Structure 1
Amino acid sequence: MRSDTTGFWTPVALSADLPAGTVIPARMAAGTIALWRSQTGHIAASADRCPHRGMSLSHGFVRGEVLSCIYHGWSYGRAGNCLRIPAHPGLTPPDAIRVVTHDVRDTGGIVWVASGIPAGDPPDLDGFTPLRSLTADADRAALALAAGAQADEDGRLVTNIAGQDLCLLLADQPEGRTLIHVLVRSGSDAAARIAASRSVERLRRMAESASHKGGVQ
């Protein structure tokens, strides 16, 4: 649940979009983070900036259980501590060299990242399964108006389009954009999944058009 004092969870990616041994940039309202999964499947999230020269860590690479910067190879563990500096192989990096990390959960096919300290776990998805993600050049309010439903405090918007129940997880992005994670009822067949994807694309176009014109008709 969103709270100014305890923090909140943001859905940043589908689990399927982050295979083992990869790192991707993930965007939150406050900016971009580096989201990575180790070779054994553990997920970590950190500030997207190497303390050495400021290179984006999301441009780096994962080897085993560490994330390495693409520039000079400084390597970091999931706790954010620097583990290796290639130019000084005999040096044990001081604990002061580290990147800021965020609590992260991989549940229900969604990767959630914490801002602050959330009061509880990420929300239950209530029988829905992830389908795809897309970004809208519109804010939550425009998407809610286009869908004819309101999102709750966790960004969940449950609606019915063309007779099909959909759950949209909405995450604020920089510059007034919104990341939409589309979920369908568990067990939906291929035809239903295709129809859901097309329905949300139409909803996105409606919200974007309304945002540019100043309101949903």
Structure 2
Amino acid sequence: MLSDTTGCWTPVALSADLPAGTVMPARTPAGSIALWRSDTGRTSASADRCPHRGMRLSHGFVRGEALNCIYHGWSYGQTGSCVRIPAHPGLTPPESIRVATYAVEEADGVIWVAVGQPSAETPRFEGLTPLRSLTFRASVAAIEASAGAKATAEGLLNLQKLRLLLAPQDDDQTLVHVLLQESSDPSDRISASRAADALRRLAEDLQRKGIA
């Protein structure tokens, strides 16, 4: 599955869940990241630790085109360089103060992040639109066993009326993005949401029993 290897794209969130001027935690095969969108709508992915005191940057805040640490307010631009230290307003931060950043792409309402150099373009799911994301406390194998289907190399599980985009997490958890046909009506959306919840319960039950 794509998200298992460095250099491949991982579907970390839905575009609709990251409004302008916000930051959220997300996970990649390399660990946690701070996923953020600037006030002008540009999406970035940074390592989730401030180099100053190690505070999680996903607990911080976005101001303008920079991500700010909640602890002492150190600010980082989209390239990862420190652009402001509030305690020393006249200081130009040295280039050595920076956080790691990762490649980010948005396609068809999904935000993808790659750790390392991407080996291919982001997967495209034309004709599909995101509905919601939820976390299954179950492995991909348990989800596949519950669904009676195998995910594609892109992590897409094709079911009768919905598609599930799977992103493995730590501790036998899987982030699942529910996708629907763009032509779906409100009743289809309700049915798909209920079907995803039912599959989650079944997969988690299999995981607890150690069947998958």
Fold-level match, TM-score > 0.5? yes
Label 1:173 to 1:3 Cα distance change in 2 as closer, same or farther (>3 A).
closer
Label 1:185 to 1:179 Cα distance change in 2 as closer, same or farther (>3 A).
same
Residues 94-122 of structure 1, C-alpha deviations (whole Å, 9 max, x = no match)? 11100000100111100101022221111
User: Is the counterpart of residue 204 in structure 1 residue 192 in structure 2?
Assistant: no
Partner of 2:148: 148
CA distance in 2, matches of 1:117, 1:3: 13
**Deviation >6 Å, runs of 4+:** 3-6
Partner of 1:193: 189
Contact residue 13 and residue 112 of structure 2 kept, 8 A = yes
User: Is the counterpart of residue 94 in structure 1 residue 83 in structure 2?
Assistant: no
Q: Which runs of 5+ in 2 are unaligned?
A: none
Label 1:4 to 1:210 Cα distance change in 2 as closer, same or farther (>3 A).
closer
Q: Which moved more, 1:135-144 or 1:27-36?
A: 27-36
- Alignment TM-score, normalising by the size of structure 1: 0.94
RMSD between aligned alpha carbons? Answer: 1.5
Label 1:24 to 1:207 Cα distance change in 2 as closer, same or farther (>3 A).
same
Partner of 1:171: 167
The size of the alignment, in residue pairs, is 212
Residues 98-156 of structure 1, C-alpha deviations (whole Å, 9 max, x = no match)? 00001001111001010222211111113110000000010001101111111122211
CA distance in 2, matches of 1:185, 1:5: 29
- Percent identity between the aligned chains? 62
Label 1:148 to 1:4 Cα distance change in 2 as closer, same or farther (>3 A).
closer
Contact residue 24 and residue 36 of structure 1 kept, 8 A = yes
Partner of 2:11: 11
Contact residue 6 and residue 114 of structure 2 kept, 8 A = no
Q: Which moved more, 1:205-214 or 1:4-13?
A: 4-13
Cα shift at 1:30: 3.2
